Amino acid sequence: MVVRGSAKGVVYSTGHNTQIGAISKTLARAHPETEFQRGTKKYGNLLLTLTVFLVLAIFGLNIAVGHPLFDALLFGLAIAIGIVPEMMPAIVTITLSTGAHRMAKEKVIVKRLESMENLGNIDTLCTDKTGTLTEGKIFLVGSYTPDSTPDDSRVIGLSLAANNAVVGDTITGNPIDVAIWEYATQKALGDLTKDYTKINEIPFDYRRRIMSVIMRTREGLTLIAKGAPESLIQDCTYVEWKGQGQPLTPALTGSLNTTFTNYSMQGLRVIAVAYRNIEQKNTYTPADETGLTLAGFLVFTDPPKKDVGEALSKLEKLGVGIKILTGDNELVANKMCNEVGLSVKGTVTGTELAQLSWAQLKSSVENATVFARVTPNQKLDVIKALKENGHVVGYMGDGVNDAPALYEADAGISVDTAVDVSKDAADVVLLRKDLGVLANGIEEGRRTFGNTIKYVLMGTSSNFGNMFSASAGSVFLPFLPMLPIQILFLNLLYNVANLTLPTDNVDPEYTKWPRKWDIGFVRNFTIFFGPFSSVYDFLTFGIMLFIFGASPALFQSAWFVESFWTQTLIIFVIRTRRIPFFKSRPSKWLVVLTLACVAFGTIVPFTPLGALMGFTAIPASFWILNILMTVTYLFLVDAGKVFFYKICGY
């Protein structure tokens, strides 16, 4: 840490050979496939199978009944286009963009649109304790000798010497080092480091959990170390006990561990400070951190956020499980979880994780809430194990070492105050590090997913029903029930009507738990509701043939209108599990555009454009029958919806 002045340095590694370079290599790959992308792929495969089978069958049957080869081919291709919801990419993009705009108002910035569906679908959130459950501001509450006697000069002086905070108009750097300086300044302890001159440093790392400095004093060179008590005490041979240096016996070690445990059980974070005289050397390594004398403890607090309990309760109601991945010890983490109302099912330490096989790890992540003293690589392993277990995982982090885990998670969540590499790796950036903000973002993500699924259900059920009717009619009628150009126009107008689906309201109960792509549900929905449309299509066929004795043009015109009315207006029934309009209101834009498209489709047969496509004017008596059929169709589907969701267990 360069505080002032100038120096010469030696570069001994660059690029990918540096620590940041190693992290960058983990990010230099395609983003892992999201749950939404996997679901979309399965849906595409389902449509492909259905389309190929139906088109081949239609083409073969039309040839068999004597339709011209070219007409049969065009009709088959039109049926294929009619079945496939080709506007889905546009609908999904508009839905995601609209959702991202709404989420920005909730102080949630979405960087990758496809990750927004995952944010809504996460069922497990992995996060650090500091800054999420707590205020993220560490305060030093006291310093003590090993026998628990308050001491501000000796222990604080050593810890200020082994300190990398930059002291100036503002104190910046490592939060723990900053807290020590702020405490010394507040207590007006004076210049406790005037007798120390820094010679060298052994940096902190997550394996040792210790950092050391080599200082020149009047007596010679001194190594001063500070770090996690469970690590540093193991490196101590002596202890300053009641003002005297004594060998560190097992009895004294037990007493020190009890003191440390008592602090931790109060939710306080403890740092140990130790020292030893050392000889002049060219280089110093962690191997020099032995034979130390324990000087005392620093006790810190990071108070819980005032509203974190409410945010955790909201996440729990949303069906999101919380996993705490922290560098603190398990006692501090458990105490903090209890204070904020987070139930702890189990605790696993980093040491225990290192001894588990992959199969054991996958089991362990299901049964534990707190993962304490974990390294960045172990955080990554926990996320991978949860994903392999079928969870949609969100990870919240803001440090350099969090980047790989952010990249691996289904939804990587960072904050605007995070380091650049973490924000680059994240999918979502919060403008405030607050679980309440995140909960609002999750709800918005679920509303976005809900509107996407509405289009899928519309496209597969009503499209399938109408195209099945067209296919069956082409076999039994002496003419095509609808010309290819008419099918394409119907499909175009129908998709335009769906463009405002992203603005639709979503029922509150839909956001209460995570939703995933369920291809079985989509398939069963299609099979159940598709025939409803076909029944009314065949009824229209009969009316036009046996009551009106319709010509091919009149038949096609009448069925176009009936098909378009039922296919488009059914959105008001399918969009909700509630009673349409009375218990669940659609958005005004969905109502306006849908009714406008229905009106346009109604008058097309009477226009030159309709004549160009082979339509003709429809007699007034048909409109009465069409209104009756459409109304009864909507009521029938609404009744069938109750049966499907309740009786079939959806």
Average pLDDT score, the chain: 86
Given CA atoms 375, 380, 384, 387 in this order, what sign does their dihedral have? Answer: positive
Fold of 138-301: Calcium-transporting ATPase, cytoplasmic domain N (3.40.1110)
CATH 1.10.238.10 for the 39-107+439-647 domain, yes or no: no
Convert the pLDDT of each residue in 195-233 to its tens digit: 889 999 998 887 888 999 999 988 899 999 999 998 999
pLDDT at 2 over 70: no
Model pLDDT, residue 4: 59
Nearest to 121 by CA among 453, 345, 578, 377: 453
pLDDT at 623 over 90: yes
Q: Which residues contact 109 (CB under 8 A, 6 or more apart)?
A: 103, 416, 428, 429, 430, 431
Residues of each domain in the chain carrying CATH 3.40.1110.10: 138-301
Average pLDDT over residues 133-162: 88
Q: What is the dihedral of CA 518, 412, 131, 333, to 10 degrees?
A: 60
Residue 182 burial class via C-beta count within 10 angstroms: exposed 0-12, middle 13-18, buried 19 and up? middle
Model pLDDT, residue 5: 65
Convert the pLDDT of each residue in 560-595 to its tens digit: 999 999 989 999 998 998 888 888 999 999 999 999
Cβ(645)–Cβ(521) below 8 Å: no
pLDDT at 3 over 60: no
> Half-sphere exposure of residue 292, counting CA atoms within 13 Å on the CB side?
27
Q: What percentage of the chain reaches a pLDDT higher than 70?
A: 96
Model pLDDT, residue 131: 74
DSSP tag of 166: B
Query: 389 vs 6, which has greater pLDDT?
Result: 389
pLDDT at 91 over 90: no
Residues of each domain in the chain carrying CATH 3.40.50.1000: 124-134+308-391
Model pLDDT, residue 300: 93
> CA-CA distance, 227 to 298, in Å (whole number)?
10
Average pLDDT over residues 600-629: 94
Q: Which residues contact 501 (CB under 8 A, 6 or more apart)?
A: 91, 95, 451, 454, 455, 571, 575, 590
CA angle, 200 then 205 then 207, to 5°: 130
Task: Please identify, in words, the CATH class of the domain defined by 124-134+308-391.
Answer: alpha beta
Query: 290 vs 89, which has greater pLDDT?
Result: 290
> CA-CA distance, 107 to 94, in Å (whole number)?
20
Secondary structure of 499-545 in HEC code, one letter for each residue: HHHHHCCCCHHHHCCCCCCCHHHHHHHHHHHHHHHHHHHHHHHHHHH
Catalytic sites, residue numbers: 128
650 pLDDT band (50/70/90 cuts)? low
Convert the pLDDT of each residue in 286-311 to its tens digit: 999 999 999 999 999 988 888 888 88
32 pLDDT band (50/70/90 cuts)? low
**Full-model pTM:** 0.75
DSSP tag of 304: B
Least confident span in 59-63, 279-283, 488-492, 579-583 = 59-63
619 pLDDT band (50/70/90 cuts)? very high
Model pLDDT, residue 26: 64
Q: What is the dihedral of CA 248, 252, 255, 261, to 10 degrees?
A: 20
Q: Which residues contact 378 (CB under 8 A, 6 or more apart)?
A: 325, 350, 353, 354, 371
Model pLDDT, residue 434: 80
Average pLDDT over residues 271-284: 93
Model pLDDT, residue 30: 64
Q: What percentage of the chain reaches a pLDDT higher than 90?
A: 36
Model pLDDT, residue 28: 63
Model pLDDT, residue 179: 92
pLDDT at 464 over 80: no
Instruction: Tell me the H-state helices in 65-203.
Output: 69-83, 88-105, 114-121, 154-161, 175-186
44 pLDDT band (50/70/90 cuts)? confident
Average pLDDT over residues 252-261: 91
pLDDT at 446 over 80: yes
pLDDT at 1 over 60: no
Residue with tokens 């007006």: 188
